[in-house]
């Protein structure tokens, strides 16, 4: 198949080319997919897209009739207008799992760095400041961690935190028996909020989970709670969290995702003036640690994403179907 690979970066191109082995004709495009760049897909049978590509109805309309397949290089598909894709006869496939360890371990890295102020200590040492004031952390052992969403990633995160000696509470639409067997206790959201010292989000972004963490949710949490989000930015109402940071209700915030990240993440904007005042405010807090959607970014995950993506395209070309198809919820 002729595949237009949007938002492509050199590190992905190498993995995709290796996984492809010359089977498909891949056109690597640095541009994000949007209404303006959609014509670049002309003459291709498939579009390969990433998390911050615009896959709304008007953009998808610009891809047909030529393009038949939309191959996502991600697990999340909240950015795709699935109803429009179905109407236009565009099959959507994704990479359902590539390394839950990559994301879960990154969430743990945020917990550890925030707790022990590693980001601040690093800066101090480089400036010859060896004072310890303001760097005191807490033992994770014996603390209560709340995990929202115990699918592939949440289950790995819960297991690691159990290994630290934490009590793990979880909330999900369905109980994961492996988590239960590992000593994770399923509770209602209200109890998880009330009892957790650390709350980590591992559920998808859906209409039900959008702004799951808002003023009301924060008001039910412990004062000084640590909040970690490696899932999707819009799970958190950023304005509410900023208010929570200012009041002290939120004691630590670790983010790998941000509501308006499409305008920022994955690009070097260091020579430009930051236009997003809300994001700019977040970066001023000493107890906020942000990474730019890099939780997935391990050798293993990038290789798996490339192999599954090429496998999806090959399967679709051969059979017109794919095991990793994303269906419109009925």
Q: Which residues bind ligand NAI (CB under 6 A)?
A: 75-76, 97, 100, 103, 148-154, 171-174, 202-206, 208-209, 230-232, 256-257, 293, 295-296
Does 281 participate in catalysis according to the annotation? no
Q: Considering the complex, state which of residue 37 and residue 309 has its C-beta at the smaller distance from ligand NAI.
A: 309
Q: Considering the complex, state which of residue 69 and residue 205 has its C-beta at the smaller distance from ligand NAI.
A: 205
Q: Considering the complex, state which of residue 79 and residue 249 has its C-beta at the smaller distance from ligand NAI.
A: 79
Question: Min. distance of Cβ 64 from ligand NAI in angstroms?
Answer: 27
Q: What strands lie across the sheet with 185-186, from one edge to the other?
A: 185-186, 167-171, 144-148, 198-201, 225-229, 250-255, 288-290
Active-site residue (options: 79, 106, 143, 293): 293
Q: Using CB positions, name the residue nearest to ligand NAI.
A: 151
Separation of alpha carbons 287 and 241, rounded Å: 12
- Residue-wise DSSP of 255-306: ES--TTGGGTTTS--TTS----HHHHHHTT-TTEEE--S-TT-SHHHHHHHH
Active-site residue (options: 143, 202, 249, 261): 261
β-bridge mates for residue 254, sequence order: 228, 289
Q: Considering the complex, state which of residue 59 and residue 102 has its C-beta at the smaller distance from ligand NAI.
A: 102
Q: Residue 284 burial by CB count (10 A; 0-12/13-18/19+): exposed, middle or buried?
A: exposed
Under a CB-based contact definition with an 8 Å cutoff, are residues 103 and 230 in contact? Answer: yes
Q: Considering the complex, state which of residue 100 and residue 244 has its C-beta at the smaller distance from ligand NAI.
A: 100
Cis-peptide, bond into residue 252, ω within 30° of zero: no
3-class secondary-structure state, position 158: helix
Does 24 participate in catalysis according to the annotation? no
Active-site residue (options: 73, 143, 232, 249): 232
Question: Min. distance of Cβ 185 from ligand NAI in angstroms?
Answer: 15
Does 293 participate in catalysis according to the annotation? yes
Question: Min. distance of Cβ 266 from ligand NAI in angstroms?
Answer: 11
Question: Min. distance of Cβ 149 from ligand NAI in angstroms?
Answer: 3
Question: Min. distance of Cβ 74 from ligand NAI in angstroms?
Answer: 7
Separation of alpha carbons 289 and 109, rounded Å: 10
Separation of alpha carbons 152 and 157, rounded Å: 9
Instruction: Please list the active-site residues.
Output: 232, 261, 293
């Amino acid at each position: 198949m002729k595949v237009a690979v949007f938002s492509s970066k050199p590190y992905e191109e190498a993995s995709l080319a290796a996984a492809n082995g010359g089977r498909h004709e891949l056109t690597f495009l640095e541009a994000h997919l949007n209404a303006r760049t959609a014509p670049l897909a002309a003459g291709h049978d498939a579009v390969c897209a990433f998390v911050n590509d615009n896959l709304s109805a008007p953009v998808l309309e610009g891809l047909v009739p030529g393009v038949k397949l939309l191959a996502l290089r991600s697990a999340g598909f909240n950015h795709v207008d699935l109803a429009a894709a179905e109407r236009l006869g565009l099959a959507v496939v994704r990479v359902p799992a590539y390394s839950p360890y990559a994301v879960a371990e990154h969430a743990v890295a945020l917990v550890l760095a925030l707790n022990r102020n590693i980001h601040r200590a690093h800066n101090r040492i480089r400036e010859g400041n060896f004072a310890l004031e303001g760097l005191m952390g807490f033992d994770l052992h014996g603390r209560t961690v709340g995990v929202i969403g115990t699918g592939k990633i949440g289950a790995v995160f819960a297991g690691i935190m159990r290994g630290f000696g934490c009590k793990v509470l979880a909330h999900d639409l369905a109980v994961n028996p492996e988590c239960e067997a590992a000593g994770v206790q399923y509770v209602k959201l209200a109890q998880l909020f009330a009892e957790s010292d650390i709350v980590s989000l591992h559920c998808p972004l859906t209409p039900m989970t959008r702004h799951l963490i808002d003023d009301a949710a924060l008001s039910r949490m412990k004062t000084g709670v640590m909040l970690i989000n490696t899932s999707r930015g819009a799970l958190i109402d950023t304005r509410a969290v900023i208010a929570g940071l200012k009041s002290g209700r939120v004691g630590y915030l670790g983010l790998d995702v941000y509501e308006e990240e499409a305008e920022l993440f994955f690009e070097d904007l260091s020579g430009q003036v930051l236009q997003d005042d809300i994001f700019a405010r977040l970066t001023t807090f000493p107890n906020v640690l942000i990474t730019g959607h890099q939780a997935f970014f391990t050798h293993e995950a990038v290789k798996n994403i490339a192999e599954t993506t090429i496998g999806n395209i090959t399967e679709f070309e051969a059979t017109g179907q794919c095991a990793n198809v994303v269906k419109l919820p009925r």
